[in-house]
Structure 1
């Protein structure tokens, strides 16, 4: 049986409490016995992937495990009649790179339940560029709209706006006519770029980092937050009556040093966004929104591509805060 390269996370033999990732040659017997076999063409680099490739805890739940929470490729064999050899498919989240072998390998075997066809108008590389980050952004926007947010409601804050999910959230909100306000720690450097994505205004992250009042002036009709911590607490304190915040990440902190005052005095809602285990109809609805509102040319402008062998080095840069936009991994490169 032929072998193929894969980024594999293993326990560190020198310290069982630590993990390390390395590019290895493996064969298909190392993969799970699942019904759909795929030649992977592209993956992407998300914050979770960066943690896993850096040997950080909190993502990988079994070892050894192929990293990568996204994969896009071509079906080579299928025991599920929803897919046939030659189909261009994609899978994001659903346990990949956490408790199931993921997409940072040239081959994969997966369940079909969360597997979707690559939708028009996107190419396989563009579907990878959207990845879990873009799926999460779409889920967050849909959550706010299910809560009742409308485009004329007022400013909608987007934290982590220069990152993958934040960038795509800005683009989706901008196309839908929302007054999107991008939050970044690099306003002078990133301001023009964020406005080109759809931001009506750009806010310096420092305005939200200091300890604030439990209940502040009402500024935001809604927000999409990927950082957590003090920033999320301050956003909640400044959200308008009956507004909502869709939270999907913890790039700053998993803590929430807030009070119940925004919830009980203004009816503010905190909406959790889970992009791992979601229903197929909701997954399809998010991709329908992306296919409708995300311009492929704009997506290309957000994206850079690196070969499989450079994934770990690129992950290190991401953890150091040097990343922006989306990073596609050319798995065949």
Structure 2
């Protein structure tokens, strides 16, 4: 049975993107076939559609690093037709056909059973961004952070990871400081639960190796000078999670926050995270994420609108989460 998909190609004309009709046998190998209901657009998806450099490892490819839907057929012991599932990472949308299609076929070991409290639309709204935010929150908690520890900073707060991190931390009782370069988003961030808004300019330029101790923990999807300044402003014994590189992959700082204040820097990997941690993250998202706030940060588009959204997400013009209804 044929279905619609977005596919990227590379030929003598270079990298190009088309909306095509595929047959199931054209998909990559796997032991579970899923009727995709929703996907979402992430920064990495924007790169895959724009030029593919550093993201797309094989052509032709269906991009989309996330999807949620219903199992159609399965040769995997853990899944049966009718099961609701979600997938994030594992190279899907990079080296294996992904979620920008009405069907997907993947190894069952990559799929997470969807908690009953979440719909497939909500799972796509969470996506890699929200799942990464939850992994960051779990890491902060495992390091001992509690609401009594002090303020928690979230950088890139109006983006996908940042929006969910703000909502989660606020719901869990933390006083959240949100950093953004878009002043117009202040009301949006306060509505998500931020208690204080700071301009990203305070953090984006080269700064001092150590600054005033301002926050007990932080979630940083930005990297570069921003992460260095976040570390410099972290209180003694505090913890910072690094989960992105929106400003850059470099870390142009010093070891002083680590050896003078005992600050801990934890790297967050969402692509190859162990399954038990994925399941834990989704169980906590189902319990701790305010789904009303998730809805407020979510925009839904159809498959044909994805290339435009991808361009805008690379330009920093997209706030919150963009869900793709692949059947619209």
Query: TM-score scaled by structure 1?
Result: 0.96
CA distance in 2, matches of 1:211, 1:12: 42
Q: Does 1:231 align with 2:223?
A: no
Deviation at 1:29, TM superposition (A): 2.1
2:301 corresponds to: 306
1:197 corresponds to: 192
Mean CA deviation greater in 118-127 or 151-160: 118-127
Determine if contact 2:168/2:290 at 8 Å carries over to the other structure. no
Number of residue pairs matched?
328
1:44 corresponds to: 40
Identify unmatched segments of 5+ residues in structure 2: none
Which contiguous aligned blocks of 4+ residues in structure 1 show a shift greater than 6 angstroms? Answer: none
Q: Secondary structure at the residue paired with 1:152?
A: helix
CA distance in 2, matches of 1:206, 1:56: 30
Residue-by-residue CA offset, 1:266-289 (whole Å, 9 max, x unaligned):
111110000001111100111111
Residue-by-residue CA offset, 1:112-156 (whole Å, 9 max, x unaligned):
113122223221111110011110000000011111111111111
Pick aligned residue for 2:133 from 119, 132, 137 = 137
CA distance in 1, matches of 2:4, 2:51: 19
CA distance in 2, matches of 1:14, 1:100: 23
Determine if contact 1:157/1:180 at 8 Å carries over to the other structure. yes
Q: Secondary structure at the residue paired with 1:208?
A: helix
- RMSD between aligned residues: 1.2
Mean CA deviation greater in 58-67 or 172-181: 58-67
Residue-by-residue CA offset, 1:182-205 (whole Å, 9 max, x unaligned):
000122x11111111111111111
1:162 corresponds to: 158
Q: Secondary structure at the residue paired with 1:127?
A: helix
Residue-by-residue CA offset, 1:149-194 (whole Å, 9 max, x unaligned):
111111111011111111110111001111111000122x111111
2:240 corresponds to: 245
Pick aligned residue for 1:215 from 201, 210, 215 = 210
Q: Does 1:258 align with 2:257?
A: no
Determine if contact 2:175/2:194 at 8 Å carries over to the other structure. yes
CA distance in 1, matches of 2:201, 2:246: 15
2:8 corresponds to: 9
Query: TM-score scaled by structure 2?
Result: 0.97
Residue-by-residue CA offset, 1:244-303 (whole Å, 9 max, x unaligned):
110100011111111111111111111000000111110011111101111222111111
Q: Does 1:110 align with 2:106?
A: yes
